[in-house]
Structure 1
Amino acid sequence: MAEACEFARAVAGAVLARMAADGGPRWTVLDASPSEGSSTPPTAPSGVVHVRITAGSAPSSPDVVAVYFTTGVPGADAVVATASQLQDHAIEATGGTPLPACPGHGHPLTARVLDGDAYWVCPHEPAHHRDRILPLAVDAPAAQRGRAH
């Protein structure tokens, strides 16, 4: 589980850095730990565990948000879901700033799985812009490897 928590932390850190580069909140990952006290939905496959990620400017600040990274599913799906959650919080915190910004357009990029990998893409013209959510140096845990970049 420690490996999954570190990967979830790396995913959140990469997403937050990308949004900060486009004028988003200067949040950092404050914690990434197994979600306790939550029950797995009855339709969830066995082996699915949720890692709770908290992010914000400081642990006691009012801007702290929590999102969830899911293990036991394809890595790219987990990365896209986590990126989308963080994106929603950042856009809300900035009053609607498009984060991350789609180059040359006035809207945010959308997190999507394309060809088994997690990307930020233009929601209107996917061929206009496509950028990996994670840098290639971020290595997924063995259970999700090959499907997270």
Structure 2
Amino acid sequence: MTLALATAASPAVAADYVDAIHYPSNEQGWDVFFDLEARLAGDFNDVCGDTFCEGEYSNLQALRYRCSVRQADSMMGQCVWIFAGGNAEINEATGKVVVDARTWACRTPLAPNTPLASFYSALSGNNPIDAQLPGTSTTIYQGLTDCLH
């Protein structure tokens, strides 16, 4: 019984990484991150028809963009942008709708030890999808090209 009480009373262990919306603390990054996500989604919609949304999955949708941040020093861990697309055809013999649906998890090509502030700064202008990522010669768009094609 003593062991159970000691375990229940032990303090919670702090996470090494948090979602960017929770950096530096709970929901403090909410506005800046969701603004960036909305601008990225707008950029994706602008380029989708001429690039990624041709061919088999012509209805790609940006679902969610998420980034992890190391709590101790604001260095980014990883960013992933999730997309979904699908096709639906009618089976003429049965009347059933045959669905081919797929998701993609596209990693942003971040340089190691990218500070969150540098990331936000680099993507603060118009068309963040085409902005050069800090410490790299690449963009989020180029990362999507590798992932979605």
The bucket for the TM-score relative to the shorter chain is 0.3 to 0.5
Question: TM-score scaled to structure 2, two decimals?
Answer: 0.40
Question: Computing the radius of gyration over CA atoms, which structure comes out larger, 1 or 2?
Answer: 2
Structure (1/2) with the larger helix percentage: 2
Please give the TM-score of this superposition, normalised by the length of structure 1.
Answer: 0.40
State the structure with bigger RCO (CA 8 A, min sep 6), 1 or 2.
Answer: 1
